[in-house]
Amino acid sequence: MVGKVWGREQLPAPFVAPADERIGEIWFEPPPELPQVLVKYLFTSEKLSVQVHPSDAEALPGEAGKEECWLVLDAEPDARLAIGFEREVEAAEIAAAAMDGTIEQLLTWHPARAGDLFYLPAGTVHAIGPGLSLVEVQQNSDTTFRLYDYGRPRELHLERGLAVARGKPYGAEHRRSIAAGPVLVDGPYFRLDRIEGEPGAATCAAFPGGLLALPLAGEITARDGSARARAGDCLYADSLAALDFARAEVTLLVRAA
């Protein structure tokens, strides 16, 4: 569990925050067999900073690019996510707005509901609003450039952030719903599927090797009896065949591309 100023003292079940601590993130350490992908749960009570991530090509030595996606698990009625700009903007306008705090008005704040999926290519300027519980799947990178942080005493990275920020509206093709089908993301760095019950033949073919399984409802177990996972857990397996889905209800499956 990772404490954050924008986190929550009360977490949704099955998670429990330590007393008097605001938890914003729960990380699942990537296994050695699958180091490219990082999975987190996020819980927000305040706005997160306005930020942007570079691509692999834009990252400096010792850094890594970052593309990510958010699956909304739960949302308060007015919960929103800021992704992309209302119109095309130049770097100078982004810089001025970041300095005077009006960058929030330049961004598009998308209503967020349970089941919404947002994919964020590198260079997408974004912020997460309050009242949300999310699963985040991302490249295993912590390279983040903050553009604006509501006056909080944290470092900003305007020069680096402006160099990689795309001053464009968010593409509709990057947003979808879990109702659209089992494949939520099939991108250049990772794949994310949502399945109900046992995985079908198409899913098995798409996940031939190592993967992460996150039960959202129900339970999955390792066939050799070595591990069990319920809602709130994340289980690594070297293949789908190594997992028993007899008690599974809804599961997220993640693999590296």
Residue 186, φ and ψ in degrees, nearest 5? -135, 75
Active-site residue, from 80, 146, 176, 191 = 146
Residue 11 and residue 16: Cα distance in Å, rounded?
Answer: 6
Nearest to 134 by CA among 15, 257, 5, 255: 15
HEC sequence for 145-208: EEEECCCCCCCCCHHHHHHHCCCCECCHHHEEEHHHCCEEEECCCEEEEEEECCCCHHHHHHCC
Both structure tokens of 68: 């990510």
Both structure tokens of 79: 């919960």
Both structure tokens of 42: 């996020």
113 is catalytic: no
Catalytic sites, residue numbers: 146
